[in-house]
């Protein structure tokens, strides 16, 4: 989302202040305890949070003295509890707190500590407390790509322990770098463990190219393009454009866009993808943004409006198929920017959605870090200011 956010930075500083009283600062509670994290959270969300006007504790005039403000910050010793109990609005399903911004921002760029196995989990068993996993796909150049495991296979255990609601987080997402999957079969709807096991090791800095499969098929004289795209990661916008160049060279007349495992990402990447499908006419409206009341009053209509694109962020001419129809594959894991593509294309082309109901996430996100001095856009993460961020 970094390039998308750049469209609005520098405007925000016109008339935004964090507080009615600019002298209110942290970061010590009444007992001298550190509340610097809570202080960062409150000030960042007072500016940027979509529901700022709906959350009474984030109001500009909520506190009249330093002591009152600091006591509020100290009301929850754990920053995670402070975020959940004092700041997050009840209708907010997606905002979260992390104590490791570097891992988070790397993950948003497609870089993670991973063994390359992408999987889904389901409850099963007599009381729906047992869990089985299924392999969605294998990331290229990962540890899993060198092992005997493939899409569609099932597993029910890790290191000899059957997966259930109580242990699956520790076994699959814990600190253990290496674990062994205990595989299973399914026959007539019954899942049964088998004798196969697969040892997998997580590697630091695994990079996933979201442009996973691009192919063309000649079916009854029609050239059908297929693109499996697993994340709107703007670092791979050029690879996405190259994929459409390949589809254009193949003479594609119809496109199947597979977003089944795409949870979203960069809004700008979604705009580029939609332009590659439909049109590079920059007069066509792509989206209008809505921010909190305070920011909405600062932005002009032009600032809040995005159009289809004719070039990537790197200045490359966009390869477009100029289609009037697109088939989009979806699941409940298709979210955010994936849903934006569907909704933004719908007024212009026939969108034929195949699959299950999508996640239902109409919000985009900002990654906030403790960097209050960033000119024009305080607290918004940017890689160039890594040495200015309080970690």
Residue 97 pLDDT exceeds 80: yes
Query: Span 113-207: which CATH code?
Result: 2.30.42.10
Q: Which value, in Å, is the radius of gyration of the alpha carbons in the chain?
A: 24
Confidence bin at 287 (pLDDT 50/70/90): very high
Confidence bin at 29 (pLDDT 50/70/90): confident
Say which residue the tokens 């509670």 belong to: 29
Residue 1 pLDDT exceeds 80: no
Contact between 139 and 116 under an 8 Å Cβ cutoff? The reply is yes
Model pTM? 0.88
> What pLDDT does 391 receive?
82
Contact between 120 and 136 under an 8 Å Cβ cutoff? The reply is yes
Q: Name the residue ranges covered by the structural domains of the chain.
A: 2-95+366-388, 113-207, 211-355
Q: In angstroms, rounded to a whole number, what is the distance separating the alpha carbons of residues 213 and 200?
A: 23
Q: Closest by alpha carbon to 319, among 226, 242, 229, 232?
A: 242
> What pLDDT does 17 receive?
42
Q: What is the pLDDT of residues 259-278, one digit of tens each?
A: 999 999 999 999 999 999 99
CATH of the domain spanning 211-355, picked from 3.90.226.10, 3.40.50.300, 3.80.10.10, 2.40.50.140: 3.90.226.10
Phi and psi, residue 183, nearest 5°: -85, 170
Q: What is the pLDDT of residues 144-202, one digit of tens each?
A: 999 999 999 999 999 999 999 999 999 999 999 999 999 999 999 899 999 999 999 99
Residue 18 pLDDT exceeds 70: no
> What pLDDT does 49 receive?
97
> What pLDDT does 32 receive?
81
> What pLDDT does 19 receive?
46
> What pLDDT does 193 receive?
96
> What pLDDT does 358 receive?
97
Structure tokens that stand for 269 in this block:
């990447």
**Mean confidence (pLDDT) of the chain:** 92
Pairing mode of beta strands 350-355, 325-330:
parallel
Q: Closest by alpha carbon to 363, among 89, 117, 104?
A: 89
């Amino acid at each position: 989302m970094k390039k998308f956010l750049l469209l609005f930075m520098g405007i925000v500083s016109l008339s935004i202040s964090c507080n009615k009283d600019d002298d209110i600062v942290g970061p010590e509670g009444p007992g001298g305890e550190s509340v610097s994290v809570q202080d960062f959270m409150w000030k960042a969300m007072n500016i940027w949070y979509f529901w700022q006007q709906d959350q009474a504790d984030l109001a500009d005039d909520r506190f009249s003295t330093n002591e009152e403000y600091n006591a509020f910050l100290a009301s929850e010793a754990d920053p995670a509890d402070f975020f959940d109990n004092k700041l997050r609005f009840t209708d907010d399903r997606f905002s979260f707190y992390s104590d490791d911004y570097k891992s988070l921002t790397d993950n948003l760029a497609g870089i993670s500590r991973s063994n390359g196995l992408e999987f889904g989990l389901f409850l099963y068993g007599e009381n729906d407390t047992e869990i089985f996993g299924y392999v969605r796909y294998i990331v290229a150049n990962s540890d899993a790509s060198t092992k005997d495991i493939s899409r569609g296979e099932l597993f029910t255990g890790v290191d000899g322990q059957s997966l259930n609601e109580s242990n699956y987080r520790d076994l699959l997402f814990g600190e253990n770098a290496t674990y062994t999957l205990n595989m299973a079969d399914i026959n007539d709807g019954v899942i049964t463990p088998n004798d196969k096991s697969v040892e997998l090791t997580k590697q630091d800095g695994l990079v996933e190219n979201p442009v996973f499969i691009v192919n063309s098929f000649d079916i009854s004289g029609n050239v059908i393009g297929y693109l499996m795209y697993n994340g709107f990661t703007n670092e791979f916008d050029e690879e996405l454009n190259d994929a459409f160049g390949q589809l254009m060279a193949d003479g594609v007349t119809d496109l199947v866009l597979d977003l089944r495992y795409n949870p979203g990402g960069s809004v700008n990447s979604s705009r580029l993808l939609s332009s590659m499908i439909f049109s590079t006419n920059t007069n066509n409206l792509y989206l209008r943004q809505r921010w909190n009341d305070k920011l909405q009053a600062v932005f002009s209509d032009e600032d809040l409006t995005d159009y289809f694109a004719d070039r990537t962020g790197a200045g490359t001419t966009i390869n477009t198929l100029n289609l009037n129809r697109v088939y989009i594959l979806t699941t409940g894991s298709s979210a955010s920017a994936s849903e934006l593509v569907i909704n933004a294309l719908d007024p212009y082309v026939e969108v034929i959605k195949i699959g299950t109901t999508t996640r239902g996430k109409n919000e985009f996100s900002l990654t906030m870090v403790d960097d209050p001095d960033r000119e024009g856009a305080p607290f918004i993460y940017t890689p160039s200011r890594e040495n200015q961020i309080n970690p």
